[in-house]
């Protein structure tokens, strides 16, 4: 049990902590950045808890989730989208760390704690999405035995996983103590919308029943908004 589940999770935590630490503490030029420490703890704990759950309950989905990034995408459009998304996400972390270092737009402690709450909430939404849909891969594709999911969070919006991502991305700059970091949403949100619209073209073409589902569930990303 220890070797199969816990040791891989510990390795993932160490790699994730090292990557996040470089992106945050290097541009901040200090380890005296409590917002970054709390954010890393919340993010890594939630992500690895989801990973542990999937490794036990749905290892097939866990393997699908590991196939992430531009190289894992099948279409040129999605490769471009994911490339911009990765650059935008890294840029957000670096910018927030620079904001902390230079004091451009410091957020008070309660706001940072609320941001951590949004990060946790976004990942919780993703967790419930994964419990409902075993085909929630990190890349855009359909499987031969895939069917339309219309229960759980899918009864509210067509893309609850992206809704979770959006909630989390709103929380990240606040958690890191940067109000100006919210401006990165103007860069990241269009990529998210583009990805959804392009994904829906594939789903309507290749996934039986998706057109009828889209007619039933009106909103794609945010209830009563879009």
Let me know how long the chain is.
Answer: 226
Q: Which of 185, 197, 211 is nearest to 159 (CA)?
A: 197
pLDDT, one tens digit per residue, over 65-83 is: 888 888 888 899 999 999 9
Question: Domain-by-domain residue ranges, the chain?
Answer: 2-216
What is the pLDDT, as a whole number, of residue 7? 66
pLDDT, one tens digit per residue, over 94-128 is: 999 999 999 999 999 999 999 999 999 999 999 99
Q: Measuring CA to CA, how many Å separate 212 from each of 55, 62, 140, 158, 194?
A: 33, 28, 20, 12, 22
What is the pLDDT, as a whole number, of residue 2? 47
Q: What are phi and psi of 106, to 5 degrees?
A: -65, 135
Q: Which of 135, 4, 126 is nearest to 58 (CA)?
A: 135
Hey, what CATH class is 2-216 in? mainly alpha
What is the pLDDT, as a whole number, of residue 4? 60
The pTM score is 0.92
- Positions of the chain with pLDDT under 70: 1-9
What is the pLDDT, as a whole number, of residue 197? 95
What is the pLDDT, as a whole number, of residue 200? 95
Residue 211, C-beta contacts closer than 8 angstroms, at least 6 positions apart: 204
β partners of residue 106: 178
Tokens, residue 41: 């703890």
| Residue 165 to residue 186: CA distance in whole angstroms | 15
| Residue 41 to residue 135: CA distance in whole angstroms | 28
């Amino acid at each position: 049990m220890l070797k199969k589940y816990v040791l891989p999770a510990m390795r993932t935590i160490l790699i994730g902590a090292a990557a996040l630490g470089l992106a945050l503490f290097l541009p901040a030029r200090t380890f005296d950045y409590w917002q970054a420490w709390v954010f890393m703890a919340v993010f890594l704990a939630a992500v690895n808890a989801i990973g542990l759950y999937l490794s036990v309950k749905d290892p097939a989905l866990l393997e699908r989730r590991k196939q992430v990034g531009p190289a894992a995408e099948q279409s040129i459009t999605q490769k471009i989208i994911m490339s911009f998304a990765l650059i935008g996400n890294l840029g957000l972390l670096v910018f927030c760390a620079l904001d902390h270092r230079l004091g451009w737009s410091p957020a008070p402690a309660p706001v940072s704690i609320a941001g951590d709450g949004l990060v946790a909430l976004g990942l919780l939404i993703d967790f419930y999405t994964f419990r409902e849909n075993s085909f929630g891969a990190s890349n855009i594709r359909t499987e031969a035995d895939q069917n339309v999911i219309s229960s759980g969070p899918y009864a509210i919006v067509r893309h609850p996983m992206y809704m979770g991502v959006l909630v989390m991305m709103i929380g990240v700059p606040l958690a890191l103590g940067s109000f100006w970091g919210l401006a990165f949403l103007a860069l990241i949100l269009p990529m998210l919308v583009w990805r959804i619209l392009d994904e829906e073209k594939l789903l309507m073409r290749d996934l039986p029943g998706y057109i009828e589902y889209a007619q039933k569930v009106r909103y794609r990303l945010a209830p009563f908004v879009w």
